Amino acid sequence: MELRQLEYFVAVTEESSFTKAAARLNVAQPGVSAQLRQLERELGQPLLDRSARAVRLTDVGAAVLPHARAALAAVAAVHNTLDELTGLVRGHVAVGAVSGCGALGLPDLLASFHDAHPGVQISLREGNSDRLVDDVRAGKLDLALVAAAGAPAPALEAQVVIDESLVAAVRSDHPLRDRSTISLAELADQALVSLPRGTGLRASLDNACAAASLKPRIACEAGDPLALADLAARGLGVAILPESIVVLMPASLRALAITRPRLRGRIELVWRSEEPASPAARELIGRGREFFAEVAAARRPGTRAEPAGRRRGPQASGTPRG
C-alpha cells in the first residue's frame, strides 16, 4: 500500500469522479484507475462502486476512508513539524484584497514576507468583499483585506485596520451644499451613486436603509470610490463615500454627515478561526496582524507610528473600496 494510492482514493471519493480527481491531482486518469484497482487487490475488497454515473463508496470504502484521510494528515503533519523545527517555511500562501489596498501597505507586507521566505509562492487576488470572505472561509485564501459592515462571518476572526465615517458627497453647486448633515430618510430620497452590492460600503447603506424600512434610489454604480467622487462632482447624484475620499476633492465636493443613524465603513484583516495547517500561512497571518496593527495605529490622530516592513513614504489617505 502506498500513500499515493490513498491520496488517489480520497480524491476520487471527494470528487465522485475519476476524471475530476485526475485533473485535481494533475495526473493522467488511467493512472488513477490503475492505482486504485491495485489498492483494492491488495485489500481484497472493492472500495468504490463504479456502476453508476457518479463513483460511490462501497461499505468497505466508507470504513476505510477516515483511516486514509488520517494517514495523509499524519504525513502532512510530519512535514509541517520538520519545516518548523528546521526553520524552513515553504509552500504556498493565498491573499485576497479589495481594490486599493496598496495604499495601506499590502505590497510592503508581501515583499517583506517574500524576502524572509523566498521559497514560499505568494498569490494575490482582488475582488468584492463578499467573495473574498467566502473564499477565506472555504480555505481558498489564507488572509484577506475586506470592507465590513457587520460582525465577522462565522468561522472567521477579524482585525480592524480602518474605521471611519461614511458621508454624503455633493457637488459644490448642489442644493444641499450649504448643509452639514443629512438624515438617512432624506438621503434615501436623493439620486445616489454607490459601490455595487457585494461591497462593504454598499452593505452599510443597504443594511441601514432596510432597518429603517427605506429603499435607496441608486442612480449609478461604480467599482471605485474615486470614480463615485467624480460622478458626484459631475452632478450625477449624491455619492456615499468614506470621509477620507471627499477631503481629496475640496474644490468640487462637499461632505454632509449622515445622521439617524450615522454610517461607518471598516476595512478589516480576516482569517479563519481554526489554526492553519500550513506553517507558511501561520507565519503570514502573524506578520499581517502585526503589520496592520501598526498601520491602524499610524492612522490615529496624533500618532506617527510607521508600519513594519520596508520604509515607505507618507501614509496615503485614500480608503480601499469593497
Is 283 in a helix, a strand, or coil? Answer: helix
User: What domains are defined for the chain?
Assistant: 3-86 (1.10.10.10), 92-322 (3.40.190.290)
The β-bridge partners of 254 are 170
Q: Can you give the pLDDT at residue 319?
A: 54
Are 193 and 232 within 8 A, CB to CB? yes
The phi, psi pair for 254, rounded to 5°, reads -120, 140
Q: Can you give the pLDDT at residue 99?
A: 79
Q: Can you give the pLDDT at residue 320?
A: 61
Are 256 and 176 within 8 A, CB to CB? yes
Is 142 in a helix, a strand, or coil? Answer: coil
Contacting residues for 126 by C-beta, under 8 A, at least 6 apart: 96, 97, 98, 99
**Cell numbers that stand for 73 in this block:** 494528515
Q: Can you give the pLDDT at residue 311?
A: 37
Are 293 and 287 within 8 A, CB to CB? no
Please tell me the distance from the alpha carbon of residue 230 to that of residue 142, in angstroms, as a whole number.
34
| Lookup result for grid cell 454607490 | 194
- Residue at 16: amino acid letter: S
Q: Can you give the pLDDT at residue 274?
A: 87
Which of these, 54, 14, 62, 12, lies nearest to 34 by C-alpha position?
12
Please tell me the distance from the alpha carbon of residue 241 to that of residue 201, in angstroms, as a whole number.
8
Per-residue pLDDT tens digits of the chain, which is 322 residues long: 889 999 999 999 999 999 999 998 899 999 999 999 999 999 999 999 988 888 999 999 999 999 999 999 999 888 878 877 666 677 889 999 987 777 789 999 999 999 999 989 999 999 888 999 999 998 999 999 998 877 777 889 999 999 989 999 999 999 999 999 999 999 999 999 999 988 888 989 999 999 999 999 999 998 888 899 999 999 999 999 988 889 888 899 999 999 989 998 889 999 999 877 688 899 999 999 999 999 999 877 654 444 444 434 334 444 565 6
Q: Can you give the pLDDT at residue 279?
A: 85
The phi, psi pair for 50, rounded to 5°, reads -100, 10
Q: Which helix (H) or strand (E) holds 112?
A: helix 106-116
Is 298 in a helix, a strand, or coil? Answer: helix
- How many C-beta neighbours within 10 Å does residue 191 have? 13
Please tell me the distance from the alpha carbon of residue 18 to that of residue 11, in angstroms, as a whole number.
8
